[in-house]
Amino acid sequence: MEASELTGHISRRFDKDIEDLRNNVLAMGGLVESQLSQAIAAIVSGDSELGLQVAKDDYKVNNLEVTIDEECGRILATRAPAASDLRLIVAIIKTITDLERIGDEAEKIGFLASKLAAMDRPADSYRELKTLGNHVAHMVRDAMNAFARLDIEEAWETVQEDERVDEEYEAIQRQCITFMMEDPRSIKRVMNVTWCARSLERIGDHAKNICEYVIYMVQGRDVRHTLGSEATGSETSE
């Protein structure tokens, strides 16, 4: 085998490694999106069983994270990638941490759905949680699309979307406080609603983080902490 042939062979194997890695991250993203949408459905439909199933399935997300992490370590150790490939792998190591934490929040929402299903149900079937939930689910989907297509424009738009999610979240929290003050017997139930809103709002933060890694990956520059939306001075924003 000629040296150039060998190099070509190694580089094709490397390309395949990277392609497999990207596909695994997208699969993990798909699983997390499905967990999230089922958790929201469980809240809205008052389906305790579905909520508990989501919580139970979180181990699948965790397993994918460990697998992808090991794969990143293996590629770093054996291929010593440079420049853009290296940035891709560092970005993936960070991205899967955020995906795993979105999974953790979906797990919590699943448990909360199961608790809320056993309590009085408001006439609007938690419409605000549904709206906020769909909003952050959309952010997660857009973040994964930006990752898949290395689409900086979509990444930036999604980063900016997080401010609107924060506003919706603040509105829900104010409403919850009003409900509790008007009807103290509702406090236990409404606290579950506030935890649920909190988890959804955090999912928006994680989606935003992923978009920032996409921008870093493509542009090679770190845009975190430069967007002025980190310190809003609000007690309820994360």
Q: Which is nearer to a copy of itself, 95 or 158 (CB)?
A: 95
d(CA 205, CA 219) in angstroms, rounded, equals 21
Cβ neighbour number for residue 168 with a 10 Å cutoff: 19
- Measured in whole angstroms, the distance separating CA 142 from the mean position of its chain's CA atoms is 10
Report d(CA 200, CA 134) in Å as an integer: 9
Which 43-62 residues touch a copy of itself, going by CB under 8 A? 55, 58-59, 62
Distance CA 226, CA 97 (A): 21
Rounded to a whole number of angstroms, the minimum distance from the CB of residue 30 to a copy of itself is 19
Binding mask 163-202 for a copy of itself (x = CB under 8 A): ----------x---x--xx--xx-xx--xx-xx--x----
String of contacts with a copy of itself for each residue 16-35, x by CB under 8 A = --------------------
* Number of Cα atoms under 13 Å in the Cβ half of residue 105: 28
User: Which of 95, 92, 87, 98 shows the shortest CA–CA distance to 219?
Assistant: 87
Assess contact for 112 and 192: CB atoms under 8 A: yes
Q: Which is nearer to a copy of itself, 24 or 236 (CB)?
A: 236
Range in contact with a copy of itself (rule: CB under 8 A) among 31-39, 64-72, 137-145, 156-164: 64-72
Shortest gap between Cβ of 184 and a copy of itself (angstroms)? 5
Q: Structure tokens of 125?
A: 């079937």
Q: Residue 177 — left, alpha, or beta (φ > 0 → left; ψ -120 to 50 → alpha)?
A: alpha
Question: By the criterion CB under 8 A, which residues form the site for a copy of itself?
Answer: 55, 58-59, 62-63, 65-66, 69-70, 72-73, 76-77, 80, 82-83, 86-87, 90, 93-94, 97, 104, 107-108, 111-112, 115, 173, 177, 180-181, 184-185, 187-188, 191-192, 194-195, 198, 222, 224-225, 230-231, 233-236, 238
